[in-house]
Amino acid sequence: MDGLKLALYENYGLAVSAIKLNKDYCASIYVVNADKKYLFKLYRQFDTEIAFQSAGIMGYLQRQNFPVTPLVYTKDGQATVTVDNRIGILFDFIEGKEGYKFEFNSYAEEVGELVARLHLVMDSYGKPLETLGYDHNVGRDVKKMRELN
């Protein structure tokens, strides 16, 4: 964790008081306490291109005033950092509840409007989007479940 604290200080100027690993599955997700609370997502080495694409899309959506978790940019204006040969992205922390049961039927119209707006905004993104198939979205989860029995 000391390497992560150092990377957050060097790249963002954050004097980190505590870091806690929150989840570690497709990426390592840390809750970071500094001047305020942050979330740091550290992608697996094999997901480097996905990390860069995610940061690009999130930054683009943020600039378009689309509701996304705000990215925190480095001191030199970058959306990503490299820590131990892995790409990381720092986000503002948004409080919420674990296990919240979302009632889709209560919000179906709002969700539909938001998805339609997302498609309209992304139409002018201007960069190619990598399409991830079954192997990435489902296959790696099945493989992990088999490894864990």
**For 114, how many CA atoms within 13 A lie in the half-sphere containing its CB?**
10
User: How confident is the model at residue 2, as a pLDDT?
Assistant: 81
Number of domains in the chain: 1
Q: How is residue 104 written in tokens?
A: 């889709």
Full domain range(s) for residue 7 = 2-147
User: How confident is the model at residue 113, as a pLDDT?
Assistant: 92
Contacts of 132 (CB under 8 A, 6+ apart): 50
User: How confident is the model at residue 48, as a pLDDT?
Assistant: 92
User: How confident is the model at residue 1, as a pLDDT?
Assistant: 67
d(CA 149, CA 145): 6
Q: Please count the other Cβ atoms lying within 10 Å of the Cβ belonging to residue 61.
A: 18
Chunked mean pLDDT (size 10), the chain, 149 residues = 89 94 88 95 92 94 94 96 95 82 81 92 88 69 74
d(CA 81, CA 71): 12
Q: Does the predicted model carry a pTM greater than 0.85?
A: no
User: How confident is the model at residue 123, as a pLDDT?
Assistant: 92
User: How confident is the model at residue 137, as a pLDDT?
Assistant: 61
Residues in the chain: 149
CATH number at residue 51: 3.30.200.20
